[in-house]
Amino acid sequence: MEKSISISSILTSLICLFFLLFLPFRPIYFIVPAILFITAIYFSIKNYQYLSWQQVPKENKYFIFTILFYIALFVISLIYHQGKLREIDSISRILLILPLLFLTTQIPFKQKWIVISILSSGISVGCLALIQTSLSDDLPFPNHMHIQAGGFTMSFALFCLAITCYAIYHHLGKWVVIGVIAILFALLASFMTTSRGAWLGISVVPVILFYYRQILSKKLIIGLMAIAIISGILASDILVKRWQQAHDDITQYAQKDNGSTSVGARFDMWKSALLGIQEKPILGWGKEGVLEMRKKHYEQGLISEFASQFGHAHNQYLHDASTRGIIGLTALLGIFLVPLGIFIRGIKQSVVGSFAHLWSVMGVSHILAVMIYCLPQSFFNHNSGLNFYFFITVLFMGLYQAAKKQKM
């Protein structure tokens, strides 16, 4: 029993470190899944006589098949387009994460610890962003692309909002205060990354409030508005400057067809991707072929030279469709919509105020937020984006199922 508790504490601590160190210590997004993978293999070998595919929940089977189909499409594309093996290096690491679903059924993770670590992460990323920007003129979180970092911190803000709603429901005054501070700091950190695409994640807030509509009140709405206003005031210079830049870029593109600005290049890349999809709709161009396609569109005068240099479309949906065709786009939508359906069903089947309900709400907010991040950027073209999405999706799904089983 003591050994079991010790293992539970150690593995839960690892998951807590994933959230706490994801931004300041980049290797953590590979180290934690790797250790959990090895642990899952150990428990599988130890308990192999009790394991059965028939015992795996049906929803888990759907999710596993969806991920395997997504990975298989990369392999098929590699073979069909005669690509290079490194194209599947990042995507193959998803297989390290899947055993976490099994591990959550074998080990009683300390769910309260994980909730506290997420709140602590919201506060710590805000503090770190303030410290880093005060010490230099560079953007915060230099270990990550600022576009990616903006999404990660916005997601932390959304997670903290869901946890705060949970605390309000249970009248946990101290944790409500901590949650509000965590939301404020995480939101501020996202603003400081200057990532406009990540800021669109705020649109997920009404979804979280809908699932906790039982606690909606004037005080809560005023409180949330106050958080947004305070963080907006603290980062007002950044917000005004970035939105003004976006306005100027759009104006230049509309009036002068300037595709060499941040927004203008995106418009050109999206145009190029759409043209490429029309030319090769089934299996796309392949990773290397997309570069040739974009150069061809530049030579034809359809896009700017600046836009032709990018190997992705700055839009995950268009990138997958142009690289791996409509089949690739279907696989991408599958890894979003299948777990999203599982979490929505989890919300319906769980009691408001339970941990099962909380993890389901956080799962929905996580998936919707990443789907939004994928609109102005190729979120999965970076290892950090892939690991962030799949690790947290699998973790929340496993925690939801464990909480449901334990009636938490």
Q: How many CA atoms lie within 13 A of 392 on its CB side?
A: 33
| Centroid of chain to Cα 221 | 26
Reported as a single tens digit per residue, the pLDDT across 195-210 is 999 999 999 999 999 9
Among 14, 36, 17, which residue's Cα sits nearest to residue 25?
A: 17
Token pair belonging to 316:
């995950």
| Main-chain phi, psi angles of 177, to 5 degrees | -60, -45
| Main-chain phi, psi angles of 310, to 5 degrees | -85, 140
pLDDT score of 43: 82
Gap between the Cα atoms of 379 and 248, Å rounded:
25
pTM (whole model) above 0.85: yes
Rg (CA), the chain: 22
Q: Which residues contact 213 (CB under 8 A, 6 or more apart)?
A: none
pLDDT score of 4: 46
Token pair belonging to 297:
């569109």
pLDDT score of 2: 46
HEC secondary structure over 265-325: HHHHHHHHHHHHHHHCCCCCCCHHHHHHHHHHHHHCCCCCHHHHCCCCCCCHHHHHHHHHH
pLDDT score of 228: 87
Gap between the Cα atoms of 121 and 125, Å rounded:
6
Neighbours of 279 (CB within 10 A): 12
pLDDT score of 52: 72
Give me the tens of pLDDT residue by residue for the chain, a chain 408 residues long. 344 458 899 999 999 999 999 999 989 988 999 999 999 888 888 877 666 777 788 999 999 999 999 999 999 999 999 888 888 888 888 988 988 988 887 788 999 999 999 999 999 999 999 999 999 888 999 989 999 999 999 999 999 999 999 999 999 999 999 999 999 999 999 999 999 999 999 999 999 999 999 998 888 888 888 998 998 898 888 989 998 999 999 999 999 889 999 999 999 999 999 999 999 999 999 999 999 999 999 999 999 999 999 988 999 999 999 999 999 999 999 999 999 999 999 999 999 999 999 999 999 999 999 999 999 999 999 999 999 999 999 999 999 999 998 876
The answer to whether the beta carbons of residues 382 and 389 sit under 8 Å apart is no
**Which residue carries 């989890």 as its tokens?**
346
